[in-house]
Amino acid sequence: MKNMFDTICAPATANGTSAIGIIRVSGKDAISIVNSCFQGKNLNQVPSHTVHYGFILDESQVFTEEISSNKPLNSHNNTLIDEVMVTVFHAPKSFTTENSVEISHHGSPYIAEKILEVLMHKGARMASPGEFTMRAFINGRIDLAQAESIADLIAAENEASRQLALNHLKGDISDEITTLRDDLLNFTSLLELELDFAEEDVEFADRSALISLVSNLESKLTSLLDSFTYGNAVKNGIEVAIIGKPNAGKSTLLNALLKEERAIVSDIAGTTRDTIEEVLHINGSAFRFVDTAGIRETRDVIEEIGVKRAKDKIASAKIILYIFDEQDSSPDEIISFVKEYWRKDLKIILLQNKIDTIQGVDNLYIEAIKSALMPAYVQSYLGISAKEKTNIDMIKHELTEYVENLKTSEGTVITNQRHYEALKKSRDSILKVKVAITNKIQTELLAYELRHALEHLGEISGEFTNDEILGNIFGRFCIGK
């Protein structure tokens, strides 16, 4: 980890031309460093949370002359880099809790670079990725789960992930974990007290109360863990594979869903050979649609690879849109396909395509499929025309409903794999504690398992952490965050 006492600087806005760019400076000397290359006002004397107009002075100027910050504004132009607004924050009321300055300059990458050069000449160093947020964490302004939620918030691309990230930033995970930990800590202390009085054979920690606490914890941890299915879906999008025989209309359907001609459509069976993936946001949730090669026996080596990829997609997808043409698929074919690929955590939607080409509905056909598969294997059967875009909205409605059903009862939703792992380990320890109590195991072992559970819970908020974990988390942030 780099020195936490350095004053750091970095652009806070994306690299590229824009109306305004912001450079962030944080650390003990942030204000004096910026002041030493600022012309307009003495920043060392301004109150916190105030904005000031002035100029950033050129590096050569900074070097050759003692700068008086109260110099008149009409100095020679080539000594000035840019006209800026600076915002001053005094410790501890800043994002990092350190003295901080934000310089708003004209949004040219060249100007940003020049200003950073000057700041570095004056003693600041370039921040590493996520270093501002890491300082906020190390200085105790936010916990680790909140720090991670900042990265999630920046990455949020739809309404649901924005909402969850904001809840996390506001501390919903942290609050929940703190409550769980406090209860546990209380008991662990009582058990450890018993150990101190081991000779006397006393019981400070009421075992039946401990059992009910442990059961309570177990169910809370389980519901947090369950929420990850939804949380993960929101954060990473839900994979939806479009599967079917060649010419069923898979690519036409992808195009209809996306409302653009993304995939090549033709009446030659075997048109799509590779998988084609596109993200579509429906009612605030992200779906990753994958168009695949039509599944059939083939001697064509390339097509065979495509078919293999399609089958891999069935394995990784959460939802399958199985699309078929009545004139080209018997009920038996469809039934045996579904039975072959069905798994408990997979939703299969059957789409009878090309309804624009059929005269009247063949009830026997539909009934044969429905009676064999519904509701055990399949919950929805829709008639569509991908070409005419008939009933595409019904597919979208089914997908939205899927997301709604994933939502567990209201409450905290886990979106982070690291939290999920830590919660799982906590629950494992809690289950061991439960067994230990029932078997009237030694207090010492009981206390040991409880400590473990506490540590795993503490990993989430960052109470128990190490440089490697921190490096891993903050290294993925952008510079300037």
By the rule CB under 6 A, 319 interacts with ligand GTP: no
Site for ligand GTP in 49-108 (CB under 6 A): none
Which span (106-114, 205-213, 270-278, 337-345) binds ligand GTP, by CB under 6 A?
270-278
- Rounded Cα gap, residues 249 and 435, in angstroms: 55
Q: How far is the CB of 277 from Mg ion (least distance, A)?
A: 13
Name the phi and psi angles at 372, rounded to 5.
-80, -30
DSSP 174: H
Q: How far is the CB of 280 from ligand GTP (least distance, A)?
A: 17
By the rule CB under 6 A, 246 interacts with ligand GTP: yes
Alpha-carbon dihedral 169, 171, 176, 179, rounded to 10 degrees: 150
Task: Confirm if 414 and 235 have CB atoms less than 8 A apart.
Answer: no
Identify which of 353, 352, 344, 347 has the alpha carbon closest to the alpha carbon of residue 399. Answer: 347
Among 146, 251, 329, 443, binds Mg ion (CB under 5 A): 251
By the rule CB under 6 A, 306 interacts with ligand GTP: no
Exposed / middle / buried, residue 31 (Cβ in 10 Å: 0-12, 13-18, 19+): buried
By the rule CB under 6 A, 244 interacts with ligand GTP: yes
CB neighbour burial string for 430-467, b if at least 16 within 10 angstroms, e if fewer: bebbbebbeeeeebeebbbbbbbbbebbbbbbbeeeee
- Rounded Cα gap, residues 257 and 280, in angstroms: 8
Q: Which lies closer to ligand GTP via its Cβ, residue 149 or residue 272?
A: 272
Which span (42-50, 154-162, 327-335, 354-362) binds ligand GTP, by CB under 6 A?
354-362
Q: Judged by CB under 5 A, how many residues of this single chain contact Mg ion?
A: 4
Q: How far is the CB of 49 from ligand GTP (least distance, A)?
A: 59
By the rule CB under 6 A, 357 interacts with ligand GTP: yes
Residue 262, classed as helix, strand or coil, is: coil
Site for ligand GTP in 186-205 (CB under 6 A): none
Hey, how many other C-beta atoms are within 10 angstroms of the C-beta on 236? 13
Q: Which lies closer to ligand GTP via its Cβ, residue 80 or residue 394?
A: 394
Alpha-carbon dihedral 152, 157, 160, 162, rounded to 10 degrees: 40
By the rule CB under 6 A, 385 interacts with ligand GTP: yes
Among 250, 313, 456, 481, binds ligand GTP (CB under 6 A): 250
- Rounded Cα gap, residues 96 and 474, in angstroms: 14
If contact means CB under 5 to 8 A according to the sort of partner, which of ligand GTP, Mg ion, none does residue 456 touch? none
Q: Which amino acid is at 46?
A: V
Among 354, 419, 427, 481, binds ligand GTP (CB under 6 A): 354
- Taking CA atoms, 326 is separated from 174, 322, 360, in Å, by 53, 13, 12
Which span (85-93, 198-206, 269-277, 388-396) binds Mg ion, by CB under 5 A?
269-277
By the rule CB under 6 A, 313 interacts with ligand GTP: no
Q: How far is the CB of 245 from Mg ion (least distance, A)?
A: 11
What are the residues binding Mg ion (CB under 5 A)? Answer: 250-251, 271-272
What are the residues binding ligand GTP (CB under 6 A)? Answer: 244, 246-252, 265-267, 269-272, 293-294, 353-354, 356-357, 385-387
